[in-house]
């Protein structure tokens, strides 16, 4: 890593490509699944199952995050979390992450190092390694994260396996990130717990493999909103789904924020994304794994997603380019 006291060392242009890569990777601990980490043309990651689950996601400054609202460390954590949640939603255990970073040459080196600190913090929470990636010049800061996972000998849990009569269940928080976004949009920075849910979500990584072991028939990461994502699952499975609001718990903090902002907290729970909870369907006779809560039922085809037996009035979640 370049000396911060040297001319130009406080920007990525000054530190240079390889100095920046060094700052992102040197001195970081890797898990046992990383057989060969950063430093060569490619990494080598163990795949005990013989299959690799892979996903990628892109976060663009001022579209998916704002440094006025989130610290670089928050953004780094979020970038890793949203990808690892997709791995968990397949019933897999996350193993490693690859990072693509594009940024302007005058980006402060400290911004990048804090971003990377956040990435490594979240990677450690999930017990995965950051094994490689790329850095390039761009007009704005963009993060592209690729995550890999291992199925442990199990079949993947896709979106297309739900069957009429299955129960619908969730694990993780719902509505918190949407509430945090509403708070930030009004110019406030508290309550911190709600705001931080938007800044850096905490997906329940272990819940995905646990659901797979318990016999989940279909699963999805709740990134766009509960109703929207259950709609994706229902479409893929060719079924309908009914969500029962009396089974959805409204935390008092969400109620308090909703009262303060004149908003309906149940709408955040039903349609707010970015919490990265997991939603899954299970056979009706299944004992749900710890942390999972039943919230609805899988119905016959062509009924869509309903709430308390009726079509939902309003947008069901986030849509890109809308």
Per the annotation, does 3 bind a ligand? no
Is 133 marked as a binding-site residue?
yes
Q: Identify whether 107 is part of a domain.
A: yes
Q: What is the dihedral of CA 67, 69, 71, 72, to 10 degrees?
A: -40
Q: What is the CATH number of the domain that holds 254?
A: 3.90.650.10
The answer to whether 223 is a known ligand-binding residue is yes
Angstrom distance (rounded) from CA 256 to CA 210: 33
Q: Is the pLDDT of residue 3 over 60?
A: no
- The predicted pLDDT at position 69 comes to 92
The annotation status of 121 as a binding-site residue, yes or no, is no
Q: Which residues contact 239 (CB under 8 A, 6 or more apart)?
A: 162, 163, 164, 298, 299, 300, 301, 303
Helix (H) or strand (E) holding 241: strand 240-243
Q: Is the pLDDT of residue 142 over 80?
A: yes
Q: Note the pLDDT tens digit of each residue in 249-261.
A: 999 999 999 999 9
- What count of other Cβ atoms lies within 10 Å of the Cβ of residue 52? 14
pLDDT in tens, 87-127: 999 999 999 999 999 999 999 999 999 999 999 999 999 99
Question: Same structural domain for residues 33 and 130?
Answer: yes
- 57 in a labelled binding site: yes
Confidence category of residue 155, pLDDT binned at 50, 70, 90? very high
Mean pLDDT across the chain: 92
Does any domain span residue 202?
yes
Same domain, 223 and 296: yes
10 is in an annotated binding site: no
Please state, in angstroms and rounded to a whole number, the distance separating the CA atoms of residues 228 and 234. 10
Question: Is residue 152 predicted with pLDDT exceeding 90?
Answer: yes
Give percent of the chain above pLDDT 70.
96
Provide the 10 A C-beta neighbour count for residue 285: 8
Q: Give the closest residue to 48 by CA, choosing from 81, 105, 96.
A: 96
74 vs 11: CA distance, rounded Å: 20
**Is 283 among the domain residues?**
yes
Per-residue pLDDT tens over the stretch 193-222: 999 999 999 999 999 999 999 999 999 999
Residues constituting the chain: 322
- Known binding residue 320? Answer is no
Residue with tokens 């400054």, as numbered in its chain: 61
Give 133's pLDDT tier (boundaries 50, 70, 90).
very high
Write out the H or E segment, with its range, that includes residue 135: strand 129-137
Residues 216 and 294 in one domain: yes
Q: Measure CA of the first residue to CA of the last residue in the chain; give whole Å.
A: 42
The residues, any chain, with a CB within 8 Å of residue 162's CB and separated by 6 or more, are 217, 218, 233, 234, 237, 239, 241, 281, 298
Quick check: 20 pLDDT over 90?
no
CA distances from 306 to 148, 172, 227, 309, 313 (A): 34, 21, 8, 5, 10
Q: Give 83-128 as a DSSP string.
A: HHHHHHHTTPEEEEEEEEEEE-TT-BHHHHHHHHHHHHHHHHHHT-
Say if residue 35 is in the same domain as residue 171: no
Whether 55 has a binding-site annotation, put simply, is yes
Share of the chain above pLDDT 90, in %: 79
Residue 1 lies in a domain: no
**Is 200 annotated to bind ligand?**
no
Do residues 137 and 182 share a domain? no
Q: Is residue 5 part of a domain?
A: no
124 lies in the same domain as 240? no
Residue 49 annotated as part of some ligand binding site: no
Tally of domains in the chain:
2
Q: Residue 6: pLDDT above 80? A: no
Judge if 92 and 206 occupy the same domain: no
31 or 278: whose pLDDT is higher? Answer: 278
Residue 33 phi/psi, 5-degree rounding, is: -70, -15
Is 190 labelled as part of a ligand binding site? no
Regarding whether 130 and 34 lie in a shared domain, the answer is yes
> What whole-number distance in Å separates Cα of residue 130 and Cα of residue 8?
27
Residue 229 lies in a domain: yes
Q: Burial of 293 by CB count in 10 Å (0-12 exposed, 13-18 middle, 19+ buried)?
A: middle
> CA-CA distance, 241 to 236, in Å (whole number)?
12
Q: Within this chain, do residues 121 and 200 fall inside the same structural domain, yes or no?
A: no
The secondary structure of 145-162 as a DSSP string is EEEEEE-TTSPP--SS--
The whole domain housing 244 covers: 167-311
Query: Is 107 annotated in some ligand binding site?
Result: no
Final residue of a domain: which of 123, 150, 177? 150
């Amino acid at each position: 890593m370049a000396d911060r006291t040297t001319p130009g060392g406080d920007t990525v242009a000054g530190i240079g490509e390889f100095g920046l890569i060094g700052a992102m990777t040197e001195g970081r601990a890797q898990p046992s699944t990383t057989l060969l980490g950063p430093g060569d043309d490619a990494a080598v990651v163990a795949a005990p199952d013989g299959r690799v689950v892979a996903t990628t996601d892109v976060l663009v400054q001022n579209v998916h995050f704002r440094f006025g609202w989130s610290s670089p460390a928050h953004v780094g954590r979020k970038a890793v979390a949203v990808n690892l949640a997709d791995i968990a939603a397949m019933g897999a255990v996350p193993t490693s992450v690859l990072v693509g970073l594009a940024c302007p040459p005058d980006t402060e080196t400290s911004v990048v190092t804090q971003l990377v600190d956040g990435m490594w913090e979240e990677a450690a929470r999930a017990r995965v390694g950051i094994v490689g990636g790329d850095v390039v010049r761009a007009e704005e800061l963009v993060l592209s994260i690729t995550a890999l996972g291992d199925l442990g000998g199990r079949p993947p849990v896709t979106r297309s396996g739900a069957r009429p009569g299955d129960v619908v269940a969730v694990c993780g928080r719902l509505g918190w990130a949407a509430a945090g976004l509403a708070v930030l949009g009004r110019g406030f920075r508290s309550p911190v717990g709600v705001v931080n849910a938007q800044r850096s979500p905490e997906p329940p990584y272990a819940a995905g493999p646990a659901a797979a072991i318990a016999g989940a028939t279909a699963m999805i990461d709740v990134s766009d909103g509960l109703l929207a994502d259950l709609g994706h699952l229902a479409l893929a499975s060719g079924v309908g789904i009914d969500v029962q609001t009396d089974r959805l718990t409204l935390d008092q903090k969400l109620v308090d924020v909703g009262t303060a902002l004149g908003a309906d907290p149940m709408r955040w729970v039903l349609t707010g994304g970015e919490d990265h909870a997991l939603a899954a369907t299970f056979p009706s006779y299944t004992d749900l794994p710890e942390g999972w809560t039943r919230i609805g039922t899988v119905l016959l085809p062509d009924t869509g997603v309903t709430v308390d037996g009726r079509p939902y009035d309003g947008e069901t979640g986030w849509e890109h380019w809308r």
